[in-house]
Amino acid sequence: MSVLFVLLFSFAVAEARGPGLPNVMVLATGGTIAGTGSSSTTVVGYTAATVGIETLLNAVPELKTVANVKGEQVFQIASENMNNDYWLKLAKRVNALLAQDDVDGIVITHGTDTIEETSYFLDLVVKSKKPVVIVGAMRPSTAISADGPINLYNAVILAGSDEAIGKGVLVALNDQINAARDVTKNNTSTADTFRTPELGFLGYMQGNKPYFYRQSTRRHTADSEFDVSNLDALPQVDIVYGYANMNRVAIDAFVAAGAKGIVHAGVGDGSLARPAVEPALDEARKKGVVIVRSSRVGNGIVARNGEAKDDEHDFVVSDTLNPQKARILLMLALTKTTDTKEIQRMFYTY
């Protein structure tokens, strides 16, 4: 996708909006941003997903000054309970809304535990260049210094901005803008938990305006080959974690349970324990299970034919995707093909 095309598309969308405020739809799914605690100092042990969308929006009256905002409660869950069915429902609703001329951008409020997974899933299946921004909070709405309101305010500005057009799905908290593909939760409890290790933020929110300094070079959203419009389910893909003294029990169990793919979160450069693990993965592959080598490290490229002879084993490597995101790409890849060479191409493309 050329830079010129993005600029022309951005200009066209801006012209279509006219001189008024952008129209931003806020889809609520629950999470800490919609959570409540027993007191104003409760920031641990609170209850997530208790506050509805209208209450969230009414708590930030300043939203009316930056966008024409409407809200919709898609579902109400703590994000550790996120599953494939919720993803499919959310993706289809996002695509339906973005196809409307009266929607310029979408904000999704979400729990932080799986925000990186939902954002990457949407990055692969949203069929529009209009902005989609996922936002959450690390403190419940009842806390003294709740971060939800300012995060939501910034997210609406970002979703309504020309600058965010064509940038893919964005994750915006703590005045920082991250790309869905690369962001990960980095701390269990601090407000600056979302980071893009090594590659860095896309930009910042400052003074009611987004500032971008880089963008992802990987294919996403409108340029993606994946389509979930006619899908009612996704293939079963599971993750096996590597560790010292690892055995094959988990691999065999997932295969017996019907896994179509397994992501191995190996040590180091995706290394496989021998003789415990490598033979089990080989046997799984011979049964048709697609194997992806990833790493538990969290940074860097998993090298093909590096710590394993991937060509001989007919394995796929995850490139820089962490295990949880490799699982998402593998699920979507398996909706199109079981050819490992083609799946490897996808991992180097997305």
Annotated catalytic residues are 32, 112
Distance CA 199, CA 211 (A): 17
Contact 22, 63 (CB under 8 A): no
Residue of 68, 206, 112, 67 lying closest to 150 (CA atoms): 206
Burial of residue 350, with CB atoms counted within 10 A of its CB: 0-12 exposed, 13-18 middle, 19 or more buried? buried
**3-class DSSP state for residue 24?**
strand
Distance CA 295, CA 322 (A): 7
List Cβ neighbours of 157 (8 Å cut-off, separation of 6 or more). 66, 67, 205, 208, 209, 210
Q: Which two tokens stand for residue 224?
A: 């993606």
Q: How many CA atoms lie within 13 A of 10 on its CB side?
A: 16
Query: Helices (H) and strands (E) in the chain — how many of each?
Result: 10, 14
CA 245, distance to chain mean position in Å, is 32
List Cβ neighbours of 71 (8 Å cut-off, separation of 6 or more). 25, 26, 27, 28, 53, 54, 56, 57
Supply φ then ψ for residue 294, to 5 degrees. Answer: -120, -165
List Cβ neighbours of 325 (8 Å cut-off, separation of 6 or more). 116, 117, 120, 181
Distance CA 65, CA 16 (A): 20
* Residues 202-241: b if buried by 16+ CB within 10 A, e if exposed: bbbbeeeebeeeeebebbbbeebebebeebeebbbbbbbe
